[in-house]
Amino acid sequence: MTTSARPLVLLDVDGVLNPFHRPSSRFDRHECVVDGCMYQVLLDERHGAELRALAEDTGAELVWATTWEENANTEIGPRLGLPRLPVIKVTAGAGVADGPLFKTGPVAEYVRGRPFVWFDDELTSADWEYLTGHPDVGEFLLVEVDPRSGLSGCDIDRARDWLAAPRA
């Protein structure tokens, strides 16, 4: 397991960058077409600048960890002013009741010992247990974002503090 590589910041879209309800007028409504289907998303363009600053200030690499997969690079990132980001291939599907999120296995395989922060709205103790017990997972911070309001300044500050802390 290597921890010499840059830390990662893993980004979900729905519930994190696209909250379930419009929490404030800062969020603009956008229409996205994915595989011929129209979706409406609520995005706050300031999130892009905040995430870029988080990555630059901490030396972290931003990565999509969302069922939007590559569509996040074409439909979400440009609206937030984010560059093209690496994508963790996750398989959309139902998780096991009381088990880890369906994305947790692919995340564990992707990180390969690199420290990471994961912003998601569906994380539970089962995800923490799975990641803690996985041999290729090093240090991590799970940030459970409130899907009603989406990513907050407090969530970003928590990630910044954790990424800035010395690593073992």
Q: Which helix (H) or strand (E) holds 154?
A: helix 153-164
Q: What is the pLDDT of residues 49-63, one digit of tens each?
A: 999 999 999 999 999
> Is the pTM here over 0.75, yes or no?
yes
The ranges assigned to domains in the chain are: 8-164
Please report how many Cα atoms fall inside a 13 Å half-sphere around the Cα of residue 137, on the Cβ side: 20
- Region 8-164: CATH code: 3.40.50
Closest CA to 75 of 41, 47, 25, 51: 41
Sequence-ordered alpha helix ranges (H) in 1-120: 46-58, 71, 77-80, 104-111
Q: What is the pLDDT of residues 7-37, one digit of tens each?
A: 999 999 999 999 998 888 999 999 999 989 9
